[in-house]
Amino acid sequence: MQIIPKRSPLAIKKAAATPSAMLIRRTDVLLLMLEADATVSLANMPFGDVLSTERARLPRAAGSVWMAVLPTAHRTRVIVGELPRRTDTFQRLSIAGRMVRDLGATQPGVITLASLTSPNAKGITNTAPVAALLAALAAAVESQPTAKSKVPAPWQPTEVVVCGVIDTTTALAIESGAHLARWLTALPPNVLTPKTYQQALVKLAKLHGWKIEIFSEARLKKLNAGAFTAVARGSATRDAALVRLQYRPKGTGGLAPLALVGKGVCFDTGGNNLKSAKHMLDMHTDMAGSAVALGTLEALTRSRYPRPVDAWLALVENRIGPDAYTQQDIVTAANGTTIQVIHTDAEGRMILADTLALASRTKPCGIIDFATLTGACLYALTERMSGAFTNHSDLRAILEDAGNRSGERVWSFPMPTDFDEDLETPMADVVQCLIDGKGDHIYAAKFLARFVAPGIPWAHIDLSSASRTGGLAHVSRPITGFGVRFAVALCSDPAFHKVIRSHEQAK
């Protein structure tokens, strides 16, 4: 099984916003989004009479998906998604996901993506529905890791015609990054180990022109990263490492990078506080945060993002063993903070503590970390949304806005100062967590905040939506890759950069 997925980009062609009769005639499947109050009526497009008749035959509720066959030589199938009157990105992606779900069964060659929507006040057509279709199609045809002895031949359409003006380079860059994140997260734990992960990162760094720096356990010890190495020493293979990848577009030498940090626990047994079989079953996915940070770096690189970005991936396993750390151990993190260990299954915040401290030393303009960190966040939000936390009040609304625009929704939790009282202990500077688990997502964020150097704007995303039975939005598989679309939307937001710049000026 390969660690890096094979990827062949979709063969994209572009066409006018409304598909022509000639295009429809040579299309096998037309995916068509219909806005409820579209002024360009269905009847005006080629084969509109057939579609209008079919649409009128049964009540077509907003959000529904239906199909019609056109009288072309190809017997062109039209799959129509009915957009609700006030729609958002999550809804659009969800409808697009339902429209593409069964395409694999017939494996069409030429697929056309189009929408009938009303132009806005400036006369600009809304291209968001077609963008949602492109995202859903790319996710539907992507390869998935499997060890089946007979694997069905992979399918890709021969041609994808995108109707309307869409930045397909950025759209496909995001889907490529999300695919990488989903692929890595799905890999079995005996295939993706901290060691093989590092080897794959060396290859990816070469491919993308990233500088790579690997902090081995021995080097982390020298840097006094005692929280990270406490977790690392439970593993018999001792192959844990912190990997820093640097993306530096030309002419940005003087700019401070944005740091993306990811939790990469390749398998989490819980350590000495062992998980039950049911709770340990999917713990190979506990590296999703690192995959999202990496996938985001790849998406930004492929879309030629004009600013420098670092990814800091904390790769480790949380195992049981004679050297494994235990409850009541006291360890010292790289920034000198002493930590009293309360629960060995709270390993994520231990490795992130040192990663945030070491990333802080490089003086980034801002830090965003991604981690499948707490069950409490999952109980609070379910798998439909992820939790957001920040040390900068202006960022709260900006984070939620990026979530809404990308369709990967996040909800901001409070971080009031009085919560810090509960992390006090006479034995050390801070307790790792509370044993009763109440509000653990908030305490985890309060704990992490202590390892971010003062003044650096920081956001922490607790990835409760990294996996979900039945998938999420346009992704139909359980591993969602949630976070890549969100992070790219955040990085392209001028308001986000304003916050970061104000910090740089304050320095």
Catalytic residues: 275, 349
345 sits near Zn ion (criterion: CB under 5 A) = yes
317 sits near Zn ion (criterion: CB under 5 A) = no
The contact pattern for Zn ion, residues 95-114, with x = CB under 5 A and - = no contact, is --------------------
Single out the residue of 147, 129, 334, 309 nearest to residue 226, CA to CA. 334
Q: Which stretch binds Zn ion (CB under 5 A): 54-62, 337-345, 413-421, 438-446?
A: 337-345
DSSP 163-224: ES---HHHHHHHHHHHHHHHHHHHS-TTTS-HHHHHHHHHHHHHHHT-EEEEEEHHHHHHTT
Report, in Å, the least distance between residue 318 CB and Zn ion.
Answer: 6
Residue with Cβ nearer Zn ion (211 or 438): 438
What CA–CA distance (Å, rounded) separates 290 from 487? Answer: 13
Report, in Å, the least distance between residue 151 CB and Zn ion.
Answer: 33
Q: Which stretch binds Zn ion (CB under 5 A): 168-176, 235-243, 343-351, 463-471?
A: 343-351
| 462-495: burial string, b at 16+ Cβ within 10 Å, e else | bbbbbbbeebbbbbbbbbbbbbbbbbbbbbbbee
Residue with Cβ nearer Zn ion (192 or 200): 192
Residue with Cβ nearer Zn ion (284 or 409): 284
DSSP 258-272: EEEEEEEEEEE--TT
Q: Which stretch binds Zn ion (CB under 5 A): 27-35, 344-352, 382-390, 466-474?
A: 344-352
Residue with Cβ nearer Zn ion (463 or 490): 463
Residue with Cβ nearer Zn ion (55 or 263): 263
CB 117 within 8 A of CB 125: yes
Q: Which stretch binds Zn ion (CB under 5 A): 56-64, 200-208, 342-350, 435-443?
A: 342-350
Query: What strands, in cross-sheet order, belong to the sheet with 110-116?
Result: 12-15, 159-163, 110-116, 29-35, 77-83, 65-69
Report, in Å, the least distance between residue 464 CB and Zn ion.
Answer: 14
Report, in Å, the least distance between residue 460 CB and Zn ion.
Answer: 16
Single out the residue of 276, 288, 295 nearest to residue 315, CA to CA. 288
Please give the structure tokens belonging to residue 385. 């949304």
Report, in Å, the least distance between residue 275 CB and Zn ion.
Answer: 7
268 sits near Zn ion (criterion: CB under 5 A) = yes
Binding to Zn ion (CB under 5 A) within 394-453 occurs at: none
User: Which residue number places its CB atom closest to Zn ion?
Assistant: 345
Strand partners, 461: 370, 388
Strand partners, 330: 340
Break the chain down into helix, strand, coil percent, rounded to 5. 40, 20, 40
What CA–CA distance (Å, rounded) separates 493 from 307? Answer: 13
Residue with Cβ nearer Zn ion (27 or 318): 318
Please give the structure tokens belonging to residue 230. 């406490």
What CA–CA distance (Å, rounded) separates 89 from 403? Answer: 9
Q: How many residues line the site for Zn ion (CB under 5 A)?
A: 3
The contact pattern for Zn ion, residues 207-226, with x = CB under 5 A and - = no contact, is --------------------
Q: Which stretch binds Zn ion (CB under 5 A): 1-9, 185-193, 265-273, 333-341?
A: 265-273
What CA–CA distance (Å, rounded) separates 343 from 107? Answer: 50
Residue with Cβ nearer Zn ion (4 or 280): 280
462 sits near Zn ion (criterion: CB under 5 A) = no
Report, in Å, the least distance between residue 372 CB and Zn ion.
Answer: 9
Report, in Å, the least distance between residue 325 CB and Zn ion.
Answer: 12
Please give the structure tokens belonging to residue 158. 């021969």
Cβ count within 10 A of residue 191: 17
Residues that bind Zn ion (CB under 5 A): 268, 345, 347
